[in-house]
Amino acid sequence: MRLRHIVAVVGCAALLLARTASADVADYLGKPVVSVTLQSEGRPVNDTRIAGLVATGRGRALSMREVRESIIHLFSLGIYEDVQVRAAASGAGVALVFELVPLHPVQSMAFTGTDQPGVDEDTLRQALTDRFGRSPRAARARDMAQAIAEVLRDDGYLRATVTPRVEVHHDPDRTSLTFSIEAGPRARLGTIGVEGSAGMSDAALLSELEIATGQPWERSRLMSRIERVLTAERRKGYYEARLAATPTFSDDGRTVALRLTAFQGPKVRVVFQGDPVPNDRRDELVPIAREGSADEDLLEDSSNRIEEFFRTQGYRDAAAPHTREQREGELVVTFAVKKGPQYRVSALEIAGNSALSTAQLTGVLRVRAGQPFSSASLDADLVQIEEAYRRLGYAGVRADATTAPGAAQGDQVPVTIRIEVLENAQTIVNSMRIEGNAAVDAETLLAGLALSPGQPFSVARLAADRDAIELKYANLGYQSATVDSRPGLSSDSRRADVVFTVREGPRVFVDHVLIVGNTRTRTDAIERELQVKAGEPLGLEALSESQRRLAAMGLFRRARITQLGRGDDPRRDVLVTVEEAPLTTVGWGGGFEVRSRVVRSASDPNVASEKLEFAPRASFEIGRRNLFGTNRSVNLFTSASLHPKDSPVFANQDPSTLPDAGGWGFPQYRVLGQFRQPRILRSRADFRVTGTVEQQIRSSFNFSRRSVVAELAVRLPRNVSASGGYQIQRTRVFNQSVAPEQQRTIDRLFPKVRLSSFLGSVIRDTRNDPVDPTAGQYFSANGQLAGRAIGSEVGFMKSFFTAQTFRTLPGRRGVVFAASARLGAAVGFPNAAGSRDLPASERFFAGGDTTVRGFALDRLGVSHTPARESDTIDEAGFPLGGNALLIFNGEFRIPLRSAVKLVTFADVGNVYKTIGEVSVNDLRPALGIGFRYKSPVGPLRFDLGFKVPRREDESRTQWFITFGEAF
């Protein structure tokens, strides 16, 4: 609202104000300016940013043009309602005073008289926001009062009066609005008449609408109930049902006579005769229910849709005429579907092609031998062939097809397709030149174009190059530059002498950069992100990049950049209008997880078994942004998992450390605090410091960790990001299930370990949705280097690689194929005991809902009977972890309904003690099926995995219920 006001006012108000100011200013034109003073409501304005907008400077001759320009600049800020200029003699010169009348934006609205039944303050406030915006102008207070009265009339207060009161405040400048409501008597329903038939008794209709004589008149509620009744009728097949309400108000405004006009119409029943039409396509092909109509035009279109549906499947002679028939009070619409024989491509021949081989052409065609024949697909393929040739310079190419159906073979007819290609002459670019360019040299303009001498000529590339040249000019500030292109074809069309004719026009420069709307964010913090600077050319790329950077700051609900021109003047002000977001953000969530965990068997403590575990979860997050007026932020995230104290999580713990039996506990929690400084030291890198306190549950041990990470992250072109940092952490492993004699040496030596390490990662992400992707790829590489030389008690080098791809398969069902590959590798450096093992908390584990879903959490590993040194599962069945990990996943995600998907998956992988012991022979596969429900908080997932094959001591299945995709 404010921006529209600014743009409208700047164009004309400055001239009017200059005219009003000229009464005394004109008397001093040409005299030297001795002083320039800015005042607002009797107080001096000392803001250097505002003073810099005044074009009239001390010591310069007074000019009406500069006065007018100053007024325009000041108005452009959008914070002043009026600008008045006074001039007075001062010695041999003139003293100028700019009187700035501030806008007083509405920052609060209050209501009185809302204690009447049916008068809801929140409803009134929302109605004003919807109509007048979040920051309405005080000048529209009467219009706002009228809008409130309209809402009250809909609620039965036909004689309501609303009186607005405007209160102006200063320091800061603001306005508060108070609306005094005199509701008056509330109208009530008098006589209620029903005309026509709604398919039910009048009493039943009034009951459905929940209205009766004597009730308050509530128009909006009545309209919603009418729509509810119509929806119910349409669900029963009465697609043409109508119901309208006409009120008549008494003179005293106390009574409403209501007339209901009803028309149920015939019940519509759609019948398909002849060949079957798929049930899941019927509503789409015959959208009577969706459109709420069964008129002839819609039915004719439905017949065409059915016929075209079958033609795309090769039934070229498909017909689906329809009939309408009144039968026992029903309108029966019958589609007589006759598919006819299915035409299939028996052979495909391509002739006349020399520039492109047959193999190259068939690679772009959809029509192939053995597939159903479709005329539409064949026509599209001919266009593809011609486009392929035009890209090679064959502008006059023609591709035609002939079809020859053969003798019917049962219910199928073979079709031979012959495509004739007439290539004609190939056009090669002979030369390229620029005409009309004065400010930019031809070499710069021609660089990077799609066309170049010696390469094939293409009309599409010519158009793209023309647009590219215009964009180069626009980025240099030539916003009105135009480019015409001529192919310059020779008489035989074999040579093109391309000419681009440029009309540069004036170059636009930035006069002032005006920033408004920021109350907490420092102006210099916004200016650092802007790529448009005063005195520089106003380029399109700079504007776009400035807009992107403002959005990336994350501090504003909205940020807009507008150019403010002044007629033919090549200088323009750039107005940056921001609306700040709340300083504090709060979020919370809850969920649960159902899974199997490895625990000691109750009958034999020396043997591992699996037990089902249900764990509720909760999380809380609070963040503070815009710290110190910049885009620094600090966030605190906490989460906890709740378990009964007799759950397997507490198994094998020292009883003395546990509270009294019974109740619940939090053996798993995480507290994470983070400070973030984007674009630190004006670089492209973001700086983050993250502190973590956590306790986590694994299948063979629990651990608690304290860590601090400092890192720099930078976004690179082509959807790539990289980060590097330093981490210091202390980890304590406790409640180990692995017998002491089977524990690795490092686990006995370092139950508590300090790790000091450097971290690095590279990520490339082209997914269209990070939560539920249907297309794109994701790749990440993470590395960690810990060493005793930098304060670590244990040294090692660890890396982890992830590659994922997502693709929507051809067809109407929207089936998504998803695949993932993960590789982990680690090498330990010799420690004081000569061991190269990694601490248990740093080793790799597999099995569970995100790795190989046929196995319980961490239960996947290499094991032998008798045990071997290379095993990653001990003799009792508890996981030991390893220095190498290999996981592959594949899924088909098949939509069933709008919010439900069926998933089939295949997982394979394992954990190895060392990199040298990785073997594909030890990979363990799992197959499974699952369902996804797209809930408001993310995908709710159920997976059932099967071990293939299953070993003698293993369960056959594992199932998981949790939130989020597996990958």
The CATH 3.10.20.310 portion of the chain extends over 2-102, 110-182, 188-263, 342-422, 428-503, 509-580
Is the pLDDT at 659 greater than 80? The verdict is no
Quote the mean pLDDT of the chain.
88
Residue 771 has a pLDDT of: 84
Residue 604 has a pLDDT of: 66
pLDDT tens, residue by residue, 182-238:
999 999 999 999 999 888 999 999 999 999 999 999 998 999 999 999 989 988 889
List Cα–Cα distances, 618 to 132, 621, 640, in angstroms: 40, 10, 6
Rounded average pLDDT over 788-814 = 91
Two structure tokens written together for 496: 């093109």
Amino acid making up residue 759: L
Taking a C-beta distance cutoff of 8 angstroms, is the pair 658, 650 a contact?
yes
Level-2 CATH architecture, domain 110-182 = Roll (3.10)
pLDDT tens, residue by residue, 886-925:
999 999 999 988 789 999 999 999 999 999 999 988 999 9
Is the pLDDT at 676 greater than 60? The verdict is yes
Phi, psi of 274 (to 5 degrees): 85, -135
**d(Cα 205, Cα 197) in Å, to the nearest integer?**
10
| Contacts within 8 Å (CB) and 24+ apart, 49-58 | 49/523, 50/74, 50/77, 50/100, 52/512, 53/77, 53/512, 53/514, 54/98, 56/96, 57/33, 58/33, 58/34
Rounded average pLDDT over 498-526 = 92
- 611 or 648, greater pLDDT: 611
Buried b (16+ CB within 10 A) or exposed e, 154-167: bbbbbbbebebeee
Residue 3 has a pLDDT of: 44
Q: Which CATH number fits domain 270-337: 3.30.70, 1.20.58, 2.40.30, 3.10.20?
A: 3.10.20
Is the pLDDT at 415 greater than 50? The verdict is yes
Level-2 CATH architecture, domain 428-503 = Roll (3.10)
Residue 649 has a pLDDT of: 53
Rounded average pLDDT over 819-824 = 97
List Cα–Cα distances, 4 to 76, 230, 581, 831, 844, in angstroms: 11, 41, 21, 70, 59
Level-2 CATH architecture, domain 586-963 = Beta Barrel (2.40)
This prediction has a pTM of 0.70
Domain spanning 509-580, CATH class: alpha beta
Residue 831 has a pLDDT of: 73
- Best mean pLDDT range from 260-269, 498-507, 727-736, 861-870: 498-507
> What is the CATH T-level fold of the domain 188-263, as seen in this structure?
Ubiquitin-like (UB roll) (3.10.20)
Q: Which CATH number fits domain 2-102: 3.10.20.310, 3.40.1390.10, 3.20.20.120, 2.102.10.10?
A: 3.10.20.310
Residue 668 has a pLDDT of: 86
In sequence order, what are the residues at sequence separation of 6 or more whose Cβ sits closer than 8 angstroms to the Cβ of residue 91? 34
Is the pLDDT at 664 greater than 80? The verdict is no
**d(Cα 57, Cα 471) in Å, to the nearest integer?**
37
**If DSSP codes are grouped into helix, strand and coil, which group holds residue 235?**
helix
Residue 105, preceding bond cis, omega within 30 degrees? no
CATH, domain range 342-422: 3.10.20.310
Phi, psi of 95 (to 5 degrees): -105, 130
